[in-house]
Chains A and B, each alone.
Chain A
Amino acid sequence: QVQLVESGGGVVQPGRSLRLSCEASGIPFSASGMHWVRQAPGKGLEWVAMIWSDGSDEFFADSVKGRFTISRDNSKNTVDLQMNSLRAEDTAVYYCARDKGTRYMDQWGQGTLVTVSS
């Protein structure tokens, strides 16, 4: 059974940092690219970042480039999103998702809520 479980969300002040983590089970994690996708309250989906299965390359949305980093530990089946210099507009539910192998997302976690507020 496939499970992607996100953690690390919470309330953080503008300008501060937060690190999200996603632990995977039931998938060949070391062979899977992984994404982070976010959804602001009542809004649509926004792709945030992707990391290749071996961690050799990363891609980011323009809105987070230079502030967010993505990393993975294939020995622990985890992918992390380090979010720095957070802004109010980063407030969202953050989902991790498995790449189908074609830059489509075929498995999703339940999400973790990040609220950026003073």
Chain B
Amino acid sequence: IVLTQSPSTLSLSPGERATLSCRAGQSIDRSLAWYQQKPGQPPRLLIYGASNRATGTPARFSGSGSGTDFTLTISSLEPEDFALYYCQQRNNWPLTFGQGTRLESK
């Protein structure tokens, strides 16, 4: 299943709201996760099952969507939130990731 993330790069300032999109090539119910990756580090699970925050994920991160369209929202950006974000589907084998959205500081 192909996952398409948009935009490729998002330039925002601290305190602003960020909205990242992930679109699946076919319906995947709510079988989607979001990961954050910072330079030189492994990914970190943020959201699973489309809207469930993983242990340690701050409340400013929220996920929504079902079927083919999903959104990761960061309500008010903190400096540490500027990173790469990937979505991943688990509905079908092989598991697949989106190509990523780079969230950069304006």
Contacts and interface: CB of A to CB of B under 8 A. Distances in A.
Interface of A: 35, 37, 44-47, 50, 59-62, 95, 97, 100, 102-106, 108-111
A60 B48 CA distance: 21
Among B93, B96, B98, find the residue whose CB has the most chain A CB atoms closer than 10 A.
B93
A103 B97 contact: no
Contact of A100 (B45, B93, B95, B98): B45
Chain B interface bracket (under 10, 10 to 19, 20 to 34, 35 or more): 20 to 34
B93 A111 contact: no
B95 A45 contact: no
Contacts of B45: 100, 104-106
A61 B33 CA distance: 18
Contact of B88 (A50, A104, A110): A104
Nearest to B84: A44
B94 A62 contact: yes
B88 A109 contact: no
Contacts of B43: 37, 45, 95, 105, 108
Interface string B37-53: 10001111100110000
B99 interface: yes
B26 to A, nearest CB: 17
A118 to B, nearest CB: 28
Contacts of B37: 45
A108 B44 CA distance: 7
Contacts of A111: 42
A102 B44 contact: no
B99 A100 contact: no
A102 B5 CA distance: 22
Contact of B42 (A47, A59, A104, A109): A109
